[in-house]
Amino acid sequence: NAGVTQTPKFQVLKTGQSMTLQCAQDMNHNSMYWYRQDPGMGLRLIYYSASEGTTDKGEVPNGYNVSRLNKREFSLRLESAAPSQTSVYFCASTVERNTEAFFGQGTRLTVV
Amino acid sequence: KQEVTQIPAALSVPEGENLVLNCSFTDSAIYNLQWFRQDPGKGLTSLLLIQSSQREQTSGRLNASLDKSSGRSTLYIAASQPGDSATYLCAVPSGGYQKVTFGIGTKLQVIP
């Protein structure tokens, strides 16, 4: 029962470095999401993929790119990390929109 | 714009007490409402999902109610245990994939 798996769990980057956060789900869900969680704020949507082959911007997409590699995998890339991107990142999946969401364990990213 | 408020922000109760967590939303045009728990340093775990046509949903010691007209949901936890200590969040989808609004959560501590 893996559900949604994210890697890595922790990462420290220097300003300007790039990295890719990986996410995979084994529930045959169509839709996948990337959120960030910051203290005192609710989760905010960065990008989502309604179905394989499609991606769309969410509330806070600037500084990020995504790839829906196949139905299982949805990656988030930071091309040039900035301290403002220090956050906890969560990947989630749903069968389709407005259905029960399942979350990964998160990636705690620090940009120094 | 949908706004979700969870009050109180933190709650401390002795073991064995019954308790109620609150979630309020400003736009009643919702598809459903989902309750999650989040343990420190972990992802969100789905607890209950109430469809907009339902009044309540139960799972074990948890009971969630929904009153769309007043923009409120409550999560009732019976006979609380120390293992219930976590942050509880509610989330409300109001339309498209990106229209899911999360509350900031209520941090619950159950004291043995």
| Residue B24, min C-alpha distance to chain A (Å) | 14
Separation of alpha carbons B22 and B8, rounded Å: 7
User: Tokens representing A59?
Assistant: 């509330």
Separation of alpha carbons B71 and B5, rounded Å: 10
Average of pLDDT values for A84-100?
94
Which has the closest alpha carbon to B90: B109, B75, B71, B76? B75
Question: How do strand A107-111 and strand A10-13 relate by DSSP bridges?
Answer: parallel
* Closest by Cβ to B103, choosing from A42, A50, A101: A42
- Assign B10 to helix, strand or coil: strand
What is the number of CB-based contacts under 8 A between chain A and chain B? Answer: 54
* A21 in contact with B, Cβ within 8 Å: no
Average of pLDDT values for B81-92?
97
* A30 in contact with B, Cβ within 8 Å: no
What is the band of A80 on the pLDDT scale with cuts at 50, 70, 90?
very high
Which has the closest alpha carbon to B51: B33, B69, B28? B33
What is the band of B99 on the pLDDT scale with cuts at 50, 70, 90?
confident
* Closest by Cβ to B34, choosing from A50, A57, A101: A101
* A25 in contact with B, Cβ within 8 Å: no
Separation of alpha carbons A107 and B42, rounded Å: 9
Residue of B nearest to A105 (CA): B43
pLDDT tens for residues B22-74?
A: 999 999 888 899 999 999 989 999 999 999 999 999 999 999 999 999 999 99
What is the band of B94 on the pLDDT scale with cuts at 50, 70, 90?
confident
pLDDT of residue A96: 87
> With left for phi above 0 and alpha for psi between -120 and 50, is residue A43 left, alpha or beta?
beta
Separation of alpha carbons A1 and B19, rounded Å: 31
SS (H, E, C) B61-90: CEEEEEECCCCEEEEEECCCCHHHCEEEEE
CB contact under 8 A, B44 and A98: no
pLDDT of residue A1: 65
Separation of alpha carbons A44 and A31, rounded Å: 16
